[in-house]
Amino acid sequence: MTYRAIIFDLFGTLVNDFMSVTGQTHEELADILGVPYEPFMKQWREITARRTMGEFQTVEASIDHVCGALGVPVTAKQMAKAVEFRLEYTRRALVPKPDAVATLAQLKQTGFTVGLLSNCSIEIPILWPTTEFADLIESPIFSSRERLKKPDPRIYRIACDRLSVVPEDCLYIADGENHELKAAADYGMNPVLIRPTSHEPRGELRQEAREWQGKSISTLSEVLKIAGNERGS
């Protein structure tokens, strides 16, 4: 079988898991806004799915909603500082894994179409043009822009349509969050699990990954072998 496109998940795949990178930064964000940390985090977590689905199309909108729910007014100065801080620590979470950029570049040089399919809040597409991935990935798909998220089959269809490929011609590389691998297979893609290495901040398998019986890899560079072997078969 010959693959035409390699579509990657983002967090846990091309970069490390978001929360393992950001650490205690939510406490600093709450402090900037002058709100108690625990109530702030409770409200922030409660709108996680809504942020991922694109209900809040700016960072300001998310912050304003949370502070409004807590009955805490936010000054323009506080908002500007909070937005800048939120974007900065999100940017730190977008640092590529050691073999990510080289793998994507080689895939592209070899002639594969390289795509992205990510469940994420609006900060990611805002920052995307500034990342090392921007020139290596065609038509990245972000749930917060599409207002759909994995494992909804419609977002897999959008990814294929934007890349002008059929699902059977795609490898989908992911860490197995949100049952994304099964959903990719059900849509007709060829999913491959990437397992975390022991030195990664998040060193355990996702729920789906623990039961995964399909193809798996431990490093992104192994994608080159899978894609190359299949292309040559």
Cα torsion angle, 16, 17, 23, 27, sign: positive
CATH topology of domain 5-16+95-232: Rossmann fold (3.40.50)
What is the C-alpha separation between 76 and 114, in angstroms, rounded?
Answer: 40
Cβ atoms of 47 and 56 closer than 8 Å:
yes
> What's the average model confidence in pLDDT over 203-231?
79
**What would the two tokens of residue 9 be?**
């998940």
> Which pLDDT value is given to residue 23?
55
Cis peptide before 151 (omega within 30 of 0): yes
Phi-psi region of 165 (alpha: psi -120 to 50; beta: other; left: phi over 0): beta
Give pLDDT tens digits for 72-94: 999 999 999 999 999 998 998 89
Nearest 10 degrees: Cα torsion 131, 135, 139, 145? 20
What is the C-alpha separation between 112 and 169, in angstroms, rounded?
Answer: 11
Burial class for 216, CB neighbours closer than 10 Å (0-12, 13-18, 19+):
middle
> Which pLDDT value is given to residue 213?
85
Among 92, 109, 105, CA closest to 220:
105
> Which pLDDT value is given to residue 24?
64
Give pLDDT tens digits for 170-199: 999 999 888 999 999 999 999 999 987 654
Lowest mean pLDDT among 87-96, 110-119, 151-160, 197-206: 197-206
Give pLDDT tens digits for 132-158: 999 999 999 999 999 999 999 999 999
Residue 232 has pLDDT above 50, yes or no: no
> Which pLDDT value is given to residue 54?
94
Instruction: Report yes or no on whether pTM surpasses 0.95.
Output: no
Residue 79 vs residues 7, 32, 45: alpha-carbon distances, Å: 36, 8, 19
**What would the two tokens of residue 96 be?**
């590529």
Encode 118-143: b = buried (16+ Cβ within 10 Å), e = exposed.
bbbbbbbbbbbeebebeebbeebbbb
